[in-house]
Amino acid sequence: MGHGASRLRRIVREVAKFGAVGGAGVLVNLAVFNLVRHTTDLQVVRASVIATVVAIVFNYVGFRYFTYRDRDKSRRTREMTLFLLFSAIGLVIENGVLYAATYGFGWNTPLQNNVFKFLGIGIATLFRFWSYRSWVFQALPARETPAPPAPAPVLRNEQAVPPKTKQQVP
């Protein structure tokens, strides 16, 4: 197995963990969205923003303690600030799609609300994956591995030549 194959395995594992947390976050997001929508008189995008915020909190805990638990933890304030910044951008992307569908195109049935909420989550997830792994949960610096020893020089002659020594003058 080469270096490329192990790197690919690490990325696949990271995407799977991100997907597991993110998938649970989507379920939390949609459940809270529909709960708020059906138990309050809030407008659709406001209900969606509340659901997104709940999912952001859920996802942070999942990403920090599951997906990226092996990443640098030394700068938590920076990590949380960047997480909230990129999550807020994701919130705007996610709810911008729902807003455009609802108020721009008049697609405002419960089914349409859920379809465009889900579509917005999908688009925002691509942005979040890139930004979280690139900026928020940074990898620890790779440990320097010592270079393998250089191979011993191959002698062309079968006879070893003794090193030259200073000749003494009589």
Q: What percent of the chain has pLDDT over 90?
A: 59
Residue 138's pLDDT is 78
- Does residue 146 surpass a pLDDT of 70? no
Closest to 114 in 3D by CA, of 105, 127, 101, 128: 101
Rounded CA gap, 141 and 36, in Å?
A: 43
User: What are the extents of the domains in the chain?
Assistant: 11-136
Query: Which pTM value belongs to this model?
Result: 0.76
CB neighbours (10 Å) of residue 131?
17
Determine phi and psi for 43, rounding to 5 degrees.
-65, 160
Point out the least confidently predicted range of 8-12, 109-113, 124-128, 139-143. Answer: 139-143
Residue 151's pLDDT is 59
- The pLDDT tens digits of the residues spanning 92-123 come to 999 999 999 999 999 999 999 999 999 999 99
Q: What single-letter DSSP state applies at residue 75?
A: T
Contact 119, 29 (CB under 8 A): no
Residue 21 structure tokens? 């947390």
- The pLDDT tens digits of the residues spanning 12-69 come to 998 899 999 999 999 999 999 999 999 999 999 999 999 999 999 999 999 999 988 8
Q: In degrees, to the nearest 5, what angle opens at C-alpha 17 toward C-alphas 12 and 23?
A: 120
